[in-house]
Structures are given as structure tokens and as C-alpha cells.
Amino acid sequence: MVFDNIISPAYQDWLYNIVNSNSFLWNRQDITVIDEEKYLNDKRNGFANIHNLFEGELDLKTFNCKDVIHHNIKIINCFFPLLFEFIEPLNINFISRIRIKAYPAIGTNQIQLPHVDQVTPNTWNVIYYFNDTDGDTVIYNERAKSVDQMEYLLSKDVWTIKQRVSPKKGRAVAFKGDLMHSASYPKNKSRFILNINLSENPESEVSQNCLKYN
């Protein structure tokens, strides 16, 4: 499901200027897909710069949350108008993870290892593209509802492509959370994306409001 111009051009520019600012802090992650020894030397398991916004369980109706690992309240507030755009079309109510990623241009569109972000039932992945560049998101027909299923598919390493989505400023793509997928590196211009993991229902009740400033 592809959404072009999901938000206004002015809002698109504002978000891009935030992540492309010299003052925006990044964490370099040398292994970005699967942190297991047998995949460490796989060229498809390469690096990216990452800024973690939230990881836990956040109710978009009440803003209650639980099991919070990452929580950058000042930055995440910038993205709520974008996040709300997906509530109705995807029938989702909860956020489990939000990350910003910056992939450097490496001169080739190297496709990364296929994977799923999480194995929780009834989930969606959303990728929002901050800028015009290359480096498609590749979504496969193969599905994994458990870590064991993902490992089995990776051991076979045979993939059939369901959809390729090219980065375009203001574009978002949404697909079910059990679909294996890969990112691709850009050739000539850095690729900035927002990676959002959403769910229809949490595994348990969330009760603590996590949007209060300390």
C-alpha cells in the first residue's frame, strides 16, 4: 500500500530539515539487519546511521505505554501528525517501534538481507521516505510468523519479489509485518527513512502515560 504525499509539502520539508541537520545525532550501527555470527560477514548485512525514537508499546488513543526501551519525547512529537495518517487506513492503534535511518550512498544498489522487523501477530510495517533518492524497498512474497520461519527462509535464500518501492519525498509504503523485506543502498545520494512498526492490539494492557515531560 503506497501513499504519495501523505503529508503536506511544507511538513515534508520541515521533517527532512530536522533529520538532515548537522546537529541531529546519529548512532552508527555496523550490523543493521541480523546480529548473529553466521551473518556477520554477509555483505547484505551492512551498516547505517540510526536514531531510535521509541521502542515499547504506545497506545495512539490514550498515549499510555509500557516496556519502554527507547523514548525520545522531544523528537517523536514532531512525527505524530504523520503517524495519525495511518490509524484509519491500516486499522492500527499501537506503536511498537520508531527509528530514523540514514543509508550512505555507496555507488551501487546493494540489497540488504531479507528479514521481518518483528514476529508479533497483526502488525504493519510503514516506511516513510524523507527525500528523493534511489535504493528501493524490496518486499517479498515469503512470510515469516516466527524466528524459526525466518531462519528457514534465510537458509534457503530463494526469494520472489512481491513489490519494489522507490524512495520519493513524502511517500510512505505500508505492508503486513510478516512479509520478508529488504532495504537497498542508494548509489549517489543518502537515503533517509522513518521505519515504523505498528500493531492492531498490544500483547497486554498499557497504562502509563509516556508523553509527560520530566
pLDDT per residue as tens digits for the range 137-186? 999 999 999 989 999 999 999 999 999 999 999 999 999 999 999 999 99
Give the residue-averaged pLDDT of 64-68.
77
pLDDT band at 132 (very low <50, low <70, confident <90, very high): very high
Provide the residue ranges of all domains of the chain, joining segments of one domain with +. 2-209
Residues sharing a CB contact under 8 Å with residue 181, sequence separation 6 or more, in sequence order: 114, 115, 116, 125, 137, 138, 139, 140, 175
Residues sharing a CB contact under 8 Å with residue 192, sequence separation 6 or more, in sequence order: 16, 19, 20, 100, 101, 102, 103, 129, 130, 131
CATH of 2-209, one of 2.60.120.620, 3.40.50.970, 3.90.420.10, 2.40.50.140: 2.60.120.620
Q: Which amino acid is at 66?
A: K
What distance in Å separates the CA atoms of residue 144 and residue 180, rounded to the nearest whole number? Answer: 7
Q: Is the predicted pLDDT of residue 133 greater than 50, yes or no?
A: yes
pLDDT per residue as tens digits for the range 74-117? 788 899 999 999 999 999 989 999 999 999 999 999 998 999 99
pLDDT band at 202 (very low <50, low <70, confident <90, very high): low
Q: Are strands 172-176 and 2-3 parallel, antiparallel or unpaired?
A: antiparallel
**How high is the pLDDT of residue 38?**
75
What distance in Å separates the CA atoms of residue 119 and residue 115, rounded to the nearest whole number? Answer: 10
